[in-house]
Structures are given as C-alpha cells and as structure tokens.
Amino acid sequence: MTLPTKKWFSFSFILALVVSSNFLIYRLESIGPLPTGMALGSLFDFIITIPLLVYFFILRKRYSLKYLLPVMLLGYGVAVLVIPHHLLSAYSFVKYILLAGEAAFFLLELYVVIQLLAKIPAIVKSYRKSESEFSTFTYRMKQSWDQHLKPSRVQEIFFSDVTMYYYSLFSWRKKPPLPVESQYTYHKKTGTITLYVMLIHALVLESVGFHFLLQSWSPLVAIIALVLNVYTLLFFLAEIQAIRHCPIIITDQYIYLQVGIIKQLIVPLKEIKSIHPYDGPETLAKEEATKVFDAIPADFFKEKPQFEVEFYHPLEARLMYGFKRKVTKAHLRLDDPQKFYKTLSAKIGKSFSD
C-alpha cells in the first residue's frame, strides 16, 4: 500500500512543475497580456492533468476511484487561487459541472447505502451468532457481510469504510483482549501508537490553521480540505484501535494475521512450510516485497522481522477496498517472540500429524 520513494519523488516533481508553471505564467509581467483561452488550459491542468497524476501514481491498484472527484474539486479550488478572476470568469460553468458530478456520485452512493441499510438487521444478526473467543470484528463482520451481500468492488469499499468507522468511533468502550495463550500482540514494544498519536496531533493543528486560511480564499476548497482531513483523522484512529484490538491469533487450524485495518491474511496451518528466524536483508527488492505479507506495523524506524513464515502455495491477502495480493511468505515481529514460536511450532507439528 505504501508508495515507493522514487514514485513519490516523481509525483511531487511533476505536480510542483504543473502548479508552479501555471502560477508563474500569470505573475510574470514580461509575458504580457494573456488571452482568455489561457485560463482554459490551466483549468485542464488542475482538473484533468493533476487528477490523472494522482490516479497513476497513488490511486491505481491501491485505493478507490471515488477519490478522483474530490481531487478534481480540490484542483478547481487551487485554480481559483492561481488564475486571475477576470480570466476565470468566462469558465465559471466548470464549477457547476464538477459539483453536478459530485452530486450524482453522492446520489449513487446514497442508493447503495439504502440497499445496505435494508440488509443491516440480517447482517447484525449473523454477526452476533458468529461470535467466538478468537475472531476479531473484521473477520466476523466479513463472514456476515458475505452471507447477505453479493461480492463487488462497491461492497468492498463500503465494508472497508464500515470497518474504519467501527474502530475509530465505536470500539473505545471495548477493552483490548487480555493476553492469553494463542493470542499475541505485536505493537507494545514499538513506537507505532506514539507515531499515530503524533500524526493525529499534527493533522488537527494543520486542519484548524489551514482551514481558516483557506476559508478566506475559497470556502469550497476549505470544505473539501476539511472533509479529507476528517477522513484521514478517522483512519488514524481506526489504525490505533485495530492494532490494539486485533492481535495475531493461532487456532487449531489457522493463524489470523491482521495489521490495523489495512491488510489481513488467514493462513491454514497445513499451508505453512516452515517458520524460522529471519536472516535476510533489511530492505527487500520490490519484486520480492510484493510476495511478502509484512505483518509489522508502521514505526518511526523500520525494524527487521523476527520470523519468516513460508507457505507451500501462494495465499491471498486482503487489502483495503477489496484489493487482493498473492503472497508466499509472511514477516512477523512479536512482543513475545519465543512463546509465539513455541506455540506455532507445536500447532504445525500437530497439524502435520493429523
């Protein structure tokens, strides 16, 4: 899910080039009077070119296309700040086209939400029946969800959002599971929670100050930025709670790996070829990294895995918004590595004997 450094650099460079060139062309007196049509070219850059950059560098194969419309609206808001009003006024209709598109998309989502709401009682009933001492909210809800809804990308997007809203808003009264045999935490000896708390602190301060600054320039851009910041805030809160409430779980048949709300993997014990201390490089090649399920949460500094678990056959890892990836290994780092290794080795041996 993370973007490689080279792609971030390329994206940032091209984005800065597009924005700065449009900004300078209206500010340099040496260029002279500009034709009205120049504003149309700038609008194309801000509402077409930049969203395409966001899609190819960030969204593609990672996130939902539903984020393109907010990016286009945000691009229009930046265009309002960059393009002189007397040139932009001839194309004021563009704003209404974008708003109409956003409204149509909202109505489509509202229709899907209404269909989902009709299924909620049945989903909740199945969820309560599926309760067990091992399964987390994500796994139990996914089982109930699939019983009553046909699989589709739209449904997966809403399931990811439901998961995020549950952990960010409704899981605070529930205490994290107590340390018991077959449940292993992976965050207590890391700076993961501190990292997310710092990000939330920075986001809130930035949101308050930046919102009032944008409000004086463009209320539309201010509202869009505020919505995106609130969504990001909920994501960070959900990550904290999911990491706290979803330890690595070993049963008689499976090992459940869940890293926050971002990714999950269910590994049948019979598919485990071996588990051994990790002695590989700190940074894997890109091609190899795509085949590894990294069950180590984000931290200030990337720590080497303690264990590498190899599988007989590729397994399917679930990512946010319905994306999936085949993996052949898992990298783990536990708070109690020796106990985990002993338990899993015993379970694997028992599974082989059966």
pLDDT: is 176 or 294 the higher one?
Answer: 294
Mean pLDDT of all residues in 296-323: 91
pLDDT over threshold 80, residue 268: yes
Which residues have C-beta within 8 Å of that of residue 55, sequence separation ≥ 6?
A: 65, 68
* Digit-coded pLDDT (tens) for 45-96: 888 888 888 888 877 766 666 677 778 878 888 888 888 877 777 777 777 7
- For 213, other C-beta atoms within 10 Å of its C-beta total 11
Q: What angle do CA 235, 240, 242 make, to 5 degrees?
A: 90
pLDDT over threshold 90, residue 315: yes
pLDDT, position 2: 53
pLDDT, position 61: 63
Residue 258 φ then ψ, to 5° = -140, 125
What confidence tier does 116 reach under pLDDT thresholds 50, 70, 90? confident
Percent of the chain at pLDDT above 70?
Answer: 89
pLDDT, position 31: 60
pLDDT, position 77: 80
Which residues have C-beta within 8 Å of that of residue 163, sequence separation ≥ 6?
A: 137, 138, 141, 238, 242, 261
Computed over every residue of the chain, the mean pLDDT equals 83
Question: Do 221 and 214 form a contact (C-beta atoms < 8 A)?
Answer: yes
* Digit-coded pLDDT (tens) for 10-40: 888 888 888 888 888 877 755 666 666 777 8
pLDDT over threshold 90, residue 347: no
pLDDT over threshold 80, residue 254: yes
Burial of 143 (0-12, 13-18, 19+ CB in 10 A): middle
pLDDT over threshold 90, residue 109: no
Stated as kind and residue range, the H or E segment containing 205 is helix 192-217
pLDDT, position 4: 64
- Per the listing, tokens 């149509």 go with 104
Nearest-CA neighbor of 158 among 323, 339, 42, 321? Answer: 321
Lowest-confidence region among 68-82, 123-137, 256-270: 123-137
pLDDT, position 328: 95
